[in-house]
Amino acid sequence: MPTPDHRRLAARSLAVITGHQDPGGGYPAAPDYPVYGFSWLRDGSFIAEAASRAGAPGSATAFHTWCARAVTERAERVRRVVAARRAGERPAEGDFLPTRYTLDGQDPDVAGWGEFQTDGYGTWLWALTAHLERHRLDPAPYRSAVTLTVDYLAATWDLPCNDWWEESDEERHGSTLGAIHGGLAAAARAGLAEPAAVTPVLTALGHLVARHGTHEGRLTKWLGGEAVDASLLACLTPFSLTDPYGPLATRTVAAVERQLLEPGGGVHRYRGDVFYGGGQWPVLAGLLGWHHARTGRTAAARRQLDWIAAQATGDGLLPEQAPGARLLHPEHLARWVEEWGPNATPLLWSHAMYLILADALDIRP
């Protein structure tokens, strides 16, 4: 395999991200894919983190301003959710905040897709805080939105909801709890959230995961289960739900690598994944590499960076799933291609995770 030109691909990745950003600040998940024209808070927050790191802080600021506006415009919905939970009731489905928005900040019209998903709001708090601290920006324009988001997460963190993959809405997921922990802890450390609003949630969340979110000394896909999901890597890096150097993290990484990592690089989502046959995701290779870079496994991190680069098209576009890679369930590929066409390319989140991992290895555009 030829040595990848990482600086060139990093520059291309940044151009893809900034070139597709909406003037209002939102990032489409995949501009040319039929159902990915929305801006997800989870995807977008990682995309903004990449822009913030890679030399486009104005792009990240525009996204965070867009997020803050979307949240504050729904302040009354947040208050109704909080009131319902304090009364011991389940909030009305229409009061939960969307998991994705149209690029102009409206609720999406996506019949059949669940909209209650909280990981994106935790991820946004984490990414916003990192961006403000990195560039020493004034947090004042975001305080109202952060307060609302903290209140929303404090009211909903323990409710079952969709996971990162918009599946299994009857479960409480390790990666979702990790994102909420990461966001609330970051906001509190930065002085953007009152400790009194955050500490009880972090304490209860930690106890819940310790009691019900582990199996054989590793994190699990959902509470009370045993399955492994590669999104659990985010609980270690960047969200630090557990000590990234500790035994729980070590065993979680080992389980992901044993069950979901291919020998040549690239990571599957989970063993039962049938979406486009269950291929390997550059996003997840980026997460694994990022954790390795953080914990000093530089060679292992570089292998994932090289693998991601090898998935780029001739014009430097990264897909959602690796083309031609081994599929866990190849018999399911045809139906997805028939319904939605080839897998999403470019996926801005793939470019973002490539940039973040490259930055962690001191490679920049």
Can you give the residue ranges of every domain in the chain?
A: 6-360
Q: What is the model's pLDDT at position 90?
A: 94
Based on the residue annotation, tell me whether 226 is a catalytic residue of this protein: no
Catalytic residue among 163, 229, 273, 359: 163
203-218 pLDDT per residue, tens: 999 999 999 999 999 9
Based on the residue annotation, tell me whether 262 is a catalytic residue of this protein: no
d(Cα 84, Cα 107) in Å, to the nearest integer? 21
What's the distance, Cα to Cα, between the start and end of the chain in Å? 22
Neighbours of 31 (CB within 10 A): 18
Mean pLDDT of 171-187: 98
63-75 pLDDT per residue, tens: 999 999 999 999 9
Catalytic residue among 107, 166, 169, 171: 166
d(Cα 46, Cα 34) in Å, to the nearest integer? 21
Tokens describing residue 56: 């486009």
Q: What is the largest CA-CA distance in the chain?
A: 61
d(Cα 154, Cα 149) in Å, to the nearest integer? 8
Mean pLDDT of 237-251: 97
Query: 6-360 domain in CATH 1.50.10.10?
Result: yes
Tokens describing residue 109: 């019209």
Q: What is the model's pLDDT at position 115?
A: 80
d(Cα 193, Cα 198) in Å, to the nearest integer? 7
In the chain the beta strands, taken as DSSP E runs, fall at 39-40, 100-101, 214-215, 218-219, 267-268, 280-281
Catalytic residue among 43, 229, 320, 359: 320
Q: What is the model's pLDDT at position 1?
A: 62
Mean pLDDT of 314-325: 93
335-351 pLDDT per residue, tens: 999 999 999 999 999 99
Based on the residue annotation, tell me whether 315 is a catalytic residue of this protein: no
Residue 274: pLDDT band (50, 70, 90) is very high
Phi, psi of 267 (to 5 degrees): -130, 135
Question: 């900034």: which residue's tokens?
Answer: 18
Query: Looking at the predicted structure, is the pLDDT value of residue 298 above 70?
Result: yes
Q: Taking the model in full, what pTM does it have?
A: 0.97
Sign of CA dihedral 132, 238, 356, 28: negative
